[in-house]
Amino acid sequence: MKLYWELFLAFARVGVMTFGGGYAMIPILEREIVDKHGWATEEELMDYYAVGQCTPGVIAVNTATFIGYKLLGAPGGIVATLGVIFPSVVIITIIAGVLKTFAEVPAVKSAFAGIRVCVCVLIFNAVLKLWKKAVVDKPTLVMFLAVFLLSVFFKISPVWFVVLCAAAGIVLTRTGVRGK
């Protein structure tokens, strides 16, 4: 039972400190999971993180679930997942309670207008970082442009884009157009 509690608390610490999305949690995860508890190696953590990015859901939640499952099976996955989401649930509940009361206050409206601008910049920065790692040659540039144009002009499910780009990546690698 002690390990379940430690798992919950470790991921609650990760959850409460993860501002700015999934990339911001890497150093916190390394400190908690690798350095402090030794529940995974750095390589394992990066593998879990990579798989967490590729699966549906929030990266932090997916990564917590993988590590919890590795340690204690399905119950460990559940405990780690609850740990990482617990701080967000509490914080969002408090903000929602206060927000309803103050949503129409001019200062709050102005603050949210500024926050929206900030979020756009943060998302743009994340896109630039991803661009540098993903669009590395002509084939990946063509895939990027195709997905971008199709998503702008047609209502196509993002699932189709992921499936088609995965297939294109496999075909391009097997045909030698991209390095293996």
CB atoms within 10 A of CB 27: 10
The CA R_g of the chain, rounded to the nearest whole Å, is: 20
State the pLDDT at residue 20: 60
The number of domains in the chain is: 3
Same domain, yes or no, for 97 and 121? Answer: no
State the pLDDT at residue 56: 78
- d(CA 42, CA 27) in angstroms, rounded, equals 11
Same domain, yes or no, for 51 and 81? Answer: yes
Same domain, yes or no, for 94 and 143? Answer: no
Task: Quickly list H helices, the chain.
Answer: 2-17, 26-29, 42-54, 59-102, 106-134, 138-153, 158-174
Same domain, yes or no, for 76 and 13? Answer: yes
Same domain, yes or no, for 123 and 144? Answer: no
Same domain, yes or no, for 108 and 153? Answer: no
45-70 residue pLDDT tens? 878 877 877 777 788 888 899 999 99
Same domain, yes or no, for 70 and 55? Answer: yes
Same domain, yes or no, for 53 and 113? Answer: no
- d(CA 41, CA 47) in angstroms, rounded, equals 10
Instruction: Say whether pLDDT at 155 is over 60.
Output: yes
Same domain, yes or no, for 155 and 177? Answer: yes
State the pLDDT at residue 44: 85
Instruction: Say whether pLDDT at 180 is over 60.
Output: no
Same domain, yes or no, for 82 and 121? Answer: no
Q: What is the domain extent for residue 144? A: 135-180
Same domain, yes or no, for 71 and 124? Answer: no
100-137 residue pLDDT tens? 777 788 888 898 888 888 878 877 877 887 788 788 88
State the pLDDT at residue 77: 95
State the pLDDT at residue 19: 64
Same domain, yes or no, for 86 and 149? Answer: no
- d(CA 28, CA 16) in angstroms, rounded, equals 10
